[in-house]
Amino acid sequence: MKFSSSLALLALPAVALAAPLDKKTWDHTEDLIESGVFGFTSTYAAYATPDQVVNGSQVSVPGEPGAWGTFKFGINAPEELICWNITAYISGNYSSPAVTATHIHQAVYGRSGPPRLAFKNPTITSPVDDFGRRVSFGCMQGPFTTGVLANGTDTASGFSLAQIEANPPGFFADTHTSKFVAGAIRGQLELKDSVY
């Protein structure tokens, strides 16, 4: 599946405004265009709700009532590059032992699992009562890190985007807050023809 150039142009302002997470985050649109990385090999979406949250003991726990969000991803697996466009309607401060509180974890529906990717947390763009529309977008290239250690190794160590392409329902996207440490919202990844 290839990403059309006209759709790529629509996504460029979002990429250009993305703040870098680390030295591997792409923050120059020209580099993205010249390298041809907008040829995504797959695209995914997740509709995240509070009723899908599962804690580390594999028990369903409530997320933030009334919260929801959409997570959209474009992957270029050979380049180990992922682009994201996340919108979340949640409240409160972020909290996570990872470098950020917004992730893709490896686990099937109804189970918890380790974070494999950490994304820039969505920031508030328009307050609405207790909830605010929060957005995050950008691109980053592996090797990836999460800041979470399992047996002394970062949970992203050795992770490849090809693993998502091989089993999309085996991964979910979520974001964590200080009041909802297990997750305010969560949604399983679904393969899409196009999400941008």
Q: Which CATH number fits domain 5-192: 2.60.40, 1.10.8, 3.30.70, 2.60.120?
A: 2.60.40
CA distance 29 to 32: 5
44-81: per-residue pLDDT in tens? 999 999 999 999 999 999 999 999 999 999 999 999 99
CA distance 98 to 147: 5
Between residues 13 and 117, which one has the greater pLDDT?
A: 117
The answer to whether 69 and 87 have CB atoms below 8 angstroms apart is yes
Q: For residue 14, report the phi and psi dihedrals to the nearest 5 degrees.
A: -65, -40
Q: What is the mean pLDDT of residues 80-91?
A: 95
pTM, whole model, 2 decimals? 0.79
Question: Which helix or strand (DSSP H or E) is residue 182 part of?
Answer: none
Domain residue limits, the chain: 5-192
Counting residues of the chain whose pLDDT is more than 90, the rounded percentage is 71
